């Protein structure tokens, strides 16, 4: 991008006061073989920052992001040095997305792979429809988190709201704090060795220090996997 | 109270059937009492609703000039997605193939549809299960659905798509999520959807990362950003409050709005949903056109209508009412052999009667797609049954069907004096029933009366 300021080899800065989100994303979809790092200044809560990136580049968003930051990310490392709006890292396939502050609703929605780290709290429906990605939340998660989560793991270092893990498939949730209520078909299960290992590895990847012994495991009771009259299914 | 009798009963039996509790309803109640579960079935609404059949064209005569049927050209070229997308979809015919999932359909069927559509210069659409390699290979123009479930949804396939269809709902079940019963969740289907094999899959009815029309606008922008504003974005709604929904879809930034009426099919949905939720396609198309005209967007945003489009006459009527294209699901399945007594294996007709019987039905009545035991190999994941539909045979039949529809369409357009099928207009139509006249907003035949409008 001609207008992008090349400060040093491999480092490109975008100032969203003067450049558009379109410019940023178009650049991120181009040939990034020479680019190591893209810095986004003055993001000012703009939507769709660094979406559809398909390369192992490092993107730093210096401030708050709006909806869908790092949406559909593949391979890239995206850091939001602020809060993120709804759907951060939605449908991520791989890579690493980190939110320094809080994340709004639907964080990591339907993400297939990669790691999403939220240092603060996450809002409603964190990890909804999760399809294989890992999510680590340093604080609390809102209600209806991991709704219909199909695969992947979610580690919550704080508390969880109502209806956690409603209609879970094969995703597994680890919670350190209190769970206000579990959703339909979600149940507490004993922590096994592999669970401790998983929690330790995910916390290490996120750079958060807690003991895995403080976490409990929540997974699907699998009672809704097949229709039958006596399960009183409401759908 | 009139008495309805079954065929020639003995005279001494009292057989007074209740209109409210007829045999159909008695069977329904007894089934419910026995199972404690609603009935789930395939295809679309079976009851009679006001439809395109209730309209006829006013061909040219003295006041209008017809085109010579075989000599004068009548174009059916169709361009979709001209509003914001840099790369609109260009089709040779205004008849597209509706979204049907790999999972609901076999991979062979998906391939057959792709081949037929490519030959005819039209598009196919993925479904609630992601894009298969077979389909991408065989279909020159492929519309990629973004559904609430997001099964198999990924940026690589998104970038390969020729158009993106954000599915809010479908005509068979507006407000409902997808369903695929365990017998169809084969290892490959399960892997594509990230589900355990054999699970009775019920998918979400709301998108996971947005709620409401304001969010949808932001979501659409995200999809545009990911695809660098190249790819047209359709928004598909099941027909309910069509006037408002179409306006909201336009405000949210859709290039194309797809409206699916209640006759639209499904692979598996609750019976009561199919028959009792949503409005007929005839009503939907008129409301959709009214909405676009109200916004002065008729020339900018294209409209695709689906749900119960079967014939070239249906296509012509939908276009005359203001649609830019139609989308066909069930008609295409029937062309492939759905509800046919036999299937073709290496050029030979083989009877499927016994297999319909096993499902408790017969050719002509089947709606048992949910079982995965399709007697003609169309809606199945069974490795043996799916062989009954050979891609080459299926592709030829679907191509022939689409060809026939387009010939009928251009024939009608010429008879109405149009050099382009998109020149068909509301003024070319009249209605045969008062209901259809009121719903479609065209005069009752032989009168100038449009009920509710003049
Ligand atoms: S014949 Fe096959 S496709 Fe047609 S209704 Fe029966 S099961 Fe469905």
pLDDT digits (tens, 9 = 90+) for A169-207: 999 999 999 999 999 999 999 999 999 999 999 999 999
Which chain B residues are Cβ-neighbours of A51 within 8 angstroms? Answer: 222, 225-226
Atom in ligand 1 nearest the alpha carbon of residue B267: 8
Q: Is A88 in CB contact (< 8 Å) with chain B?
A: no
pLDDT at residue number B419: 95
Query: For all residues of chain B together, what is the average pLDDT?
Result: 93
Average pLDDT over residues B3-28: 82
Instruction: Answer yes or no: is pLDDT of B267 > 90.
Output: no
CA B369/CA B18 separation, integer angstroms: 31
Share of chain B above pLDDT 90, in %: 75
SS (H, E, C) A128-192: CCCEEEEEEECCCECCCCCCCCCEEEEEECCCECCCECCCCCCCEEEECCCECCECCCEEEECCC
In the reported structure, the alpha carbon of residue B183 is separated from the centroid of ligand 1 by a whole-number distance in angstroms of: 15
From the CB of B237, is ligand 1 less than 6 Å away?
no
pLDDT band at B6 (very low <50, low <70, confident <90, very high): low
Residue A233 lies in a domain: no
Q: Does A153 touch chain B (CB under 8 A)?
A: no
| Interface probe, candidates A85, A90, A226, chain B, greatest B C-beta count within 10 A | A90
How far is ligand 1, taken at its centre, from the CA of residue B337, in Å? 8
- Of ligand 1's listed atoms, the one at least distance from the Cα of B361 is 6
Q: CATH number of the domain that A93 lies in?
A: 2.160.20.60
Which pLDDT score is estimated for B269? 87
Residue B66, pLDDT > 90, answer no
Q: Which residue in this structure is represented by tokens 């579990």?
A: A182
Ligand 1 pocket check for B366: Cβ under 6 Å: yes
At residue B34, what are phi and psi to the nearest 5 degrees?
Answer: -75, -35
Q: What is the mean pLDDT of residues B296-325?
A: 97
Residue B48: CB atoms within 10 A of its CB come to 8
- CA–CA separation, B297 vs B291, rounded Å? 9
Disruptive mutation site among B149, B196, B206, B209 for chain A (greatest number of A CBs within 10 Å)? B209
- Tokens representing B79 are 């361009």
Share of chain A above pLDDT 70, in %: 93
Domain that holds residue A207: 39-220
**Can you tell me the mean pLDDT for B61-89?**
91
Q: Is the CB of B339 under 6 A from ligand 1?
A: yes
Which burial class, exposed, middle or buried, applies to B281 when counting CB atoms under 10 A from its CB (0-12, 13-18, 19+)? buried
- Is pLDDT at B242 greater than 70 in this prediction? yes
Q: Are the Cβ atoms of A225 and B200 closer than 8 angstroms?
A: yes
Q: What is the CATH number of domain B52-440?
A: 3.20.20.70
pTM value is: 0.94
Q: From CA B181, how far away is CA B201, in angstroms rounded?
A: 6
Half-sphere exposure of B55 (CA within 13 A, CB side): 34
pLDDT interval class at A1 (50, 70, 90): very low
Q: Give the pLDDT of residue B156.
A: 97
Ligand 1 atom at minimum distance from B336 CA: 3
Q: Which of B160, B129, B167, B124 is nearest to B143 (CA)?
A: B124
User: Residue A217: pLDDT above 70?
Assistant: yes
Q: Check if B350 contacts A (Cβ < 8 Å).
A: no
Q: Which of B73-77, B120-124, B380-384, B403-407 has the lowest mean pLDDT?
A: B380-384
A137-178 pLDDT, tens digit per residue, is 999 999 999 999 999 999 999 999 999 999 999 999 999 999
pLDDT at A100 over 90: yes
* Confidence band of A3 (pLDDT split at 50, 70, 90): very low
- B302 pocket-lining for ligand 1 (C-beta < 6 Å): no
What residue ranges do the domains of chain B occupy? 52-440
Q: Given this model, what pLDDT does residue A97 score?
A: 98
Note the pLDDT of residue B64: 83
Provide the pLDDT for residue B186.
85
**Touching check for A142 and chain B: CB below 8 Å?**
no
Ligand 1 mean position, distance from CA B368 (Å): 6
Nearest CA in chain B to A92: B154
Least CB–CB distance from A169: residue in B36, B196, B226 = B196
| B3 pLDDT tier (thresholds 50, 70, 90) | low
The domain tally of chain A equals 1
Partner A contacted by B33 (CB < 8 A): no
CA distance B209 to B216: 9
Under 8 Å CB pairs connecting chains A and B tally to: 110
Is residue A8 a part of any domain in this protein?
no
Q: Looking up tokens 């390369």, which residue turns up? A: A55
pLDDT, tens digit, 9 for 90 and up, residues A59-87: 999 999 999 999 999 999 999 999 999 99
Report the pLDDT averaged over residues A30-52.
96
DSSP summary character for residue B284: H
Q: Number of helices (H) and strands (E), helices first, in chain A? A: 2, 12
Give the C-alpha separation, B416 to B425, whole Å.
Answer: 9
Q: Are A26 and B228 inside 8 Å of each other by CB?
A: yes
Nearest residue in B to A132, CA atom: B194
Q: Is A230 in CB contact (< 8 Å) with chain B? A: yes
Q: Give the distance from CA A63 to its chain's centroid.
A: 18
Nearest to B124 by CA among B161, B83, B88: B161
> Is 60 exceeded by the pLDDT of residue A230?
no
- pLDDT on residue A231: 53
Give the C-alpha separation, A78 to A66, whole Å.
14
C-alpha distance from A216 to closest chain B C-alpha (Å): 24
Query: Residue B34 forms beta bridges with which residues?
Result: none
> Percent of chain B having pLDDT more than 70?
98
């Amino acid at each position: 991008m001609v207008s992008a300021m090349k400060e040093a080899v491999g480092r490109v800065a975008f100032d969203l006061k003067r450049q558009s989100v379109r410019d940023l994303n178009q650049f991120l979809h181009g040939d990034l073989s020479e680019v190591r790092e893209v810095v986004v200044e003055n993001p000012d809560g703009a939507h769709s920052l660094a979406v559809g990136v398909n390369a192992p580049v490092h993107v730093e968003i210096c401030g708050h992001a709006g909806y869908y930051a790092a949406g559909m990310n593949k391979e890239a490392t995206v850091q939001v040095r602020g809060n993120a709006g709804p759907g951060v890292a939605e449908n991520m396939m791989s890579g690493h997305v980190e939110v320094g502050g809080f994340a709004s609703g639907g964080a990591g929605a339907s993400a297939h792979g990669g790691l999403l780290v939220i240092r603060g709290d996450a809002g409603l429906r964190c990890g909804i429809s999760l399809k294989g990605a890992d999510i680590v939340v340093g604080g609390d998660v809102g209600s209806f988190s991991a709704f219909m989560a199909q695969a992947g793991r979610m580690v919550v270092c704080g508390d969880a709201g109502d209806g956690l893990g409603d209609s879970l498939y094969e995703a597994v949730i680890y919670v350190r704090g209190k769970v206000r209520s579990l959703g339909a078909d979600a149940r507490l299960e004993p922590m096994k060795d592999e669970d401790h290992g998983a929690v330790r590895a995910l916390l290490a990847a996120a750079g958060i220090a807690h003991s895995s012994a403080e976490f409990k495991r929540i997974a699907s009771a699998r009672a809704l996997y097949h229709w039958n009259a006596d399960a009183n299914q409401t759908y | 109270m009139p008495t309805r009798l079954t065929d020639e009963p003995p005279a001494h039996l009292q057989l007074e059937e209740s209109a409210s509790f007829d045999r159909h309803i008695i069977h329904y109640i007894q089934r419910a009492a026995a199972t404690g579960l609603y009935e789930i079935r395939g295809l679309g609404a079976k009851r009679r609703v006001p439809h395109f059949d209730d309209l006829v064209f006013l061909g040219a005569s003295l006041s209008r000039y017809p085109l010579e049927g075989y000599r004068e050209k009548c174009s059916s070229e169709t361009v979709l997605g001209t509003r914001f997308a840099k790369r609109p979809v260009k089709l040779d015919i205004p008849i597209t193939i509706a979204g049907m999932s790999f999972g609901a359909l076999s991979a062979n069927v998906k391939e057959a549809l792709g081949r037929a559509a490519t030959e005819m210069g039209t598009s196919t659409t993925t479904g609630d299960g992601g894009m298969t390699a077979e389909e991408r290979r065989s279909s020159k123009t492929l519309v990629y659905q973004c559904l609430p479930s997001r099964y198999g949804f990924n940026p690589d396939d998104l970038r390969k798509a020729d158009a993106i269809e954000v599915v809010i709902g479908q005509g068979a079940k507006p407000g409902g999520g997808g369903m695929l019963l365990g017998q169809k969740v084969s290892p490959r289907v399960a892997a594509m959807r990230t589900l355990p094999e054999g699970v009775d899959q019920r998918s979400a009815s709301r998108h996971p990362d947005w709620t409401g029309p304001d969010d949808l606008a932001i979501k659409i922008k995200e999809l545009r950003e990911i695809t660098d504003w190249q790819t047209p974005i359709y928004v598909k709604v099941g027909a309910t409050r069509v006037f408002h929904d179409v306006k909201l879809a336009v405000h949210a930034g859709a290039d194309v709005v797809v409206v699916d009426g209640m006759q639209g099919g499904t692979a598996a949905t609750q019976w009561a949903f199919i028959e009792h939720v949503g409005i007929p396609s005839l009503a939907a198309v008129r409301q959709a056109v009214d909405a676009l005209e109200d916004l002065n967007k008729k020339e900018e945003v294209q409209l695709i209508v689906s749900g119960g489009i079967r014939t070239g006459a249906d296509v012509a009527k939908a276009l005359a009412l203001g649609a830019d294209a139609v989308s066909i699901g069930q008609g295409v399945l029937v062309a492939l052999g759905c509800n046919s007594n036999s299937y073709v294996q290496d050029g030979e007709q083989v009877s499927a009667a016994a297999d319909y019987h096993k499902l408790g039905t017969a050719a002509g009545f089947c709606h048992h797609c949910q079982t995965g035991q399709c007697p003609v190999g169309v809606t199945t994941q069974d490795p043996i049954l799916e062989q009954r539909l050979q891609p080459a045979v299926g592709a030829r039949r679907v191509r022939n069907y689409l060809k026939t529809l387009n010939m009928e369409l251009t024939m009608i357009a010429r008879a109405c004096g149009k050099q382009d099928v998109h020149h068909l207009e509301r003024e070319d139509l009249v209605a045969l029933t008062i209901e259809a006249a009121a719903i479609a907003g065209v005069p009752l035949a032989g009168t100038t009366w449009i009920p509710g409008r003049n």
